[in-house]
Amino acid sequence: MKRLGPSLLLSLLALCALPIAAQTSDHTPSAPAAKASRPRVIVIGMNGAEWDILRPLLVRGDMPNLKKVIDNGVSAKLKTVDSPNCPKVYSTFATSVPPSEHGITGFLVGGIPANTNMLKKEPLWSILSKNGVTVGMANVPATFPVMPVNGYMISGMLTRGKDCEDGVLCAPKLSEVQGGDAVYPKAMVAELESNVGDFLIDCSRMPSSAQLNGNEEKVVKDWLAGVDQVRAQQARLFDYLLTRHPTDFTMMVQSCEDRVGHWLYPIQPFHAGYNPKVASVDVNAFPNQYRAFDKVLGMVLRHMDESTTLLLISDHGIKPLRYSEDPHMHMDHGGTTPVIAKHDYDDGDEVPGSFFAMGPGIRKGRQFFGLPFTVYDIAPTILHLYGIQPAPGMRGRVLNEIFAGSPDTQIKAQSQQTEMRHH
């Protein structure tokens, strides 16, 4: 009898999975039957992937899965918006319009934590849903309260709840969410709780200077152990969703990398904010987040087949403090944690994001230089993969040059410009 337990549970799970898929499509606002088989696209978002850290790890062979994507696909820095931060840029990814137009201009908008009710442009997931594409999303920043889609959505950064009333750079557990739904459809909450557990929706809050003082080593180590746990839960969630609820379009985001970088970036003594008591605890704390991310990426790659397109995108990079243009530069958004690295520089080109793509029809081993790709181009390019026209007003373009056989017009234009400048 005991041996029957797990397999019986699995069959029940399989049965549970079906009604949810069926149920969610009922909520779709008119889903025209598009092509019989739609492309499968998986978008993995990495919050604040910094090339200065990625590159040496790639050289060392410490990110074998990212290396695989780079070798078998295209890679580039991604031009981001000015003073970039997560909610602002992820909402730009989704709408292809500037933050002033989509409405999510920061963590707080008019003093209120950014939320989906403030979104003034139709996001990618709604456009895809309307066109009959099945959509699955997990932990995408600024998606709280969740919106109805042709599939499922689990909110991410800026989800509010117990001990995280404003939702800013903290995280409630699934069971402690307040002020809105974190899961669509609601019926999925119980399923996730029993199969994945009561996971934290976003990365943990950074410790305050009061907590750190005199206890640096213990606080840093305990906090990092907590971060490992959050990532393990997120990876389990992603693995479960990709296995049990495969969708045409899937988007999942990791957020701990950025959080760690803000206060544990491996800086030198000449950097602003250097505190040897914190900096010496674990110089690998930040690079280790990328090594851990690479393992999560490896899990996602195992869910891909030759007809799946993978887009790996990052909203911005993160650099040690180097301009005093922000009055709160030594504190995080909550004003309690001493921050030694940041990304909301006035000039977004200081901290470009990143773009990787791999899949059928995509060039192999091609790196694009300069900043020919921007955060505005993500939505039009994803819509293009499904044969859907960009929505009117979208600022971005389809990144045609990532596809094999297309002319490198953009790159040529860039090099001509450079040549002209040199003359």
Q: In whole angstroms, what is the distance from residue 94 CA to residue 119 CA?
A: 10
> What sign does the CA torsion over 29, 33, 34, 38 have?
positive
| Nearest distance, CB of residue 357 and Zn ion, angstroms | 24
| Nearest distance, CB of residue 399 and Zn ion, angstroms | 25
**Nearest CB to Zn ion, comparing residues 191 and 258:** 258
**Nearest CB to Zn ion, comparing residues 121 and 316:** 316
Is residue 153 within 8 Å of 143, Cβ to Cβ?
A: yes
| Nearest distance, CB of residue 206 and Zn ion, angstroms | 10
Q: In whole angstroms, what is the distance from residue 6 CA to residue 17 CA?
A: 16
Q: Which helix (H) or strand (E) holds 88?
A: helix 86-95
**Nearest CB to Zn ion, comparing residues 181 and 258:** 258
* Three-state secondary structure readout of 297-334: HHHHHHCCCCCEEEEEEECCCCEECCCCCCCCCCECCC
| Tokens describing residue 195 | 């199969």
Give residue for tokens 């760690």.
Answer: 260
What residues pair up with 108 in beta bridges, in sequence order? Answer: 113
What residues pair up with 254 in beta bridges, in sequence order? Answer: 46
| Nearest distance, CB of residue 48 and Zn ion, angstroms | 5
| Nearest distance, CB of residue 256 and Zn ion, angstroms | 11
| Nearest distance, CB of residue 46 and Zn ion, angstroms | 12
**Nearest CB to Zn ion, comparing residues 128 and 339:** 339
**Nearest CB to Zn ion, comparing residues 136 and 273:** 273
| Tokens describing residue 142 | 């600024």
Residue nearest to Zn ion (CB): 258
Give residue for tokens 């009117």.
Answer: 392
Identify the CA nearest to 84 among candidates 288, 374, 367, 312.
374
| Nearest distance, CB of residue 111 and Zn ion, angstroms | 20
**Nearest CB to Zn ion, comparing residues 317 and 372:** 317
Q: Binders of Zn ion among 379-398, rule CB under 5 A?
A: none
**What is the number of other CB atoms lying within 10 angstroms of the CB of residue 21?**
17
Count of residues touching Zn ion (by CB under 5 A): 1
| Tokens describing residue 268 | 């030198």
In this structure, what DSSP letter does residue 182 have? Answer: S
Is residue 321 within 8 Å of 329, Cβ to Cβ?
A: yes
| Nearest distance, CB of residue 176 and Zn ion, angstroms | 23
**Nearest CB to Zn ion, comparing residues 25 and 209:** 209
Identify the CA nearest to 198 among candidates 150, 236, 165.
236
| Nearest distance, CB of residue 33 and Zn ion, angstroms | 42
**Nearest CB to Zn ion, comparing residues 202 and 401:** 202
**Nearest CB to Zn ion, comparing residues 42 and 203:** 203
Q: Site mask, Zn ion, residues 232-271, x = CB under 5 A?
A: --------------------------x-------------
Q: What is the C-alpha R_g of the chain?
A: 21
Q: In whole angstroms, what is the distance from residue 5 CA to residue 351 CA?
A: 51
The verdict on 332 binding Zn ion (CB under 5 A) reads no
Residues lying near Zn ion in the complex (CB under 5 A): 258
